[in-house]
Structure 1
Amino acid sequence: MKKTMFDWLKENRIPYGRKDLINEALTHSSYLNEHKEVLHDNERLEFMGDAVLQLWTTEKLFQLEPLLSEGQMTTLRSQLVCEAALAHYSRELGWGAYLLLGVGEERTGGRDRDSLLADMFEAMLGALYLDQGMKPVSMILERVLTPAISEPKNEVLIDYKTKLQEVVQADSRKTLQYELLNTQGPTNHPEFEMAVLLDGIVLGKGKGNSKKRAEQMAAKAAFEKMAR
């Protein structure tokens, strides 16, 4: 018998009561479109979960010792709650297996797409908060996010796009642009190559299994080149 999210919650002793909220948190819009009996996708819960995540992370960073400055807290929080980081947490927990996807989204590799995994992660936090308050949220975030705080240099947690933008804006108000150079591989496991440009000049290139991940890797290459 296939394992469900409810099995995972029970095994990890995460309290829950409302199965309807949990199911809603797992429901991608593509699944909703193909199942007329389903009333809601997870977008509203994602909105709630984002707010809960921001609050929990802010309080956690505020209490760290030695005390961090406002700028340090802002930078670290952006690393900890960026899309790539949330997708990383979701994979660590094994939650991708429980996503409810439409046939087309399933076929094109949606189950391992950063954006979908990040959205579901936030939606689950939102559902658990509405159901049981902050306790189950804290149990999950203590497991995946607290270790990341002590290892903020983990590549997946660093928002290189923001760091690069800050470096560029120190000298000008110019805006960086990202351009898709190439896509290769099967549709269920594509690899994207992106370039980051300033005034038409390529600053860096990067590859990843999503466009956003490739953008981060391009920004990383550019940032490290400019930091030398």
Structure 2
Amino acid sequence: MATKTSREIIRDGLWTNNPALVQVLGLCPLLAVTSTVVNAVGLGLATTMVLMGSNLAVSLIRNFVSESVRLPAFVMIIASFVTCAELLMQAFTYELYQILGIFIPLIVTNCAILGRADAFASRNAPGPALLDGAMMGLGFLSVLIVLGGMRELFGQGTLFVDMNLLLGPMAADWVLRPFENYPNMLFMVLPPGAFIGLGLLIALKNRVDHHLAERQKVEEPMPVAPGNKRVRVTGNVS
């Protein structure tokens, strides 16, 4: 397998192979907790931490684990990092941990994490594996934030409510209310709004990819048949 460059790893995680928009993995927590930005950021950071830690650990042991116990070993590594993330949230962001509830331990079952451990980390050196985990985590986090912001803005007419649960008292005044007397749109806060929002994001990404592909076709030079030469015409032709 050809080794990917750092640029390719970054592009894959953030756009080309985004775990939420392309692989369509981890949809259960993605759709369940993105009613506000703070919930999205909390879960996204925890998932990124687990992705980076598990990718690094799997890469370090890749030459010492036999095929027969490979997947159980990966699951145990992921579960260990999820437990660390859970304990850290209990210690420093307990109220947010209570809001996210079961979706923190359920990170263990996120197919994106096990998939990256098996498909990439177990076949690459620690450096690229750590970068892949970071970029996949940031790609997942970015979708969570955009979807959470969309649902919070159109559902409640606010942004960054309760950010102090994650960042402490300094974020207590971060609340934005772009609309005066906004009538809450309950549809966007409920699960159907999450499905509609994610569908719009996937459609937007596909539209951008199609536009970029069409532009690349236009910019590619026309092939020249063997033996033929392009003639550059200069001056006026009467």
TM-score normalised by structure 2 residue count: 0.23
Rg (Cα) greater in structure: 2
Structure number with higher helix proportion: 2
TM-score normalised by structure 1 residue count: 0.24
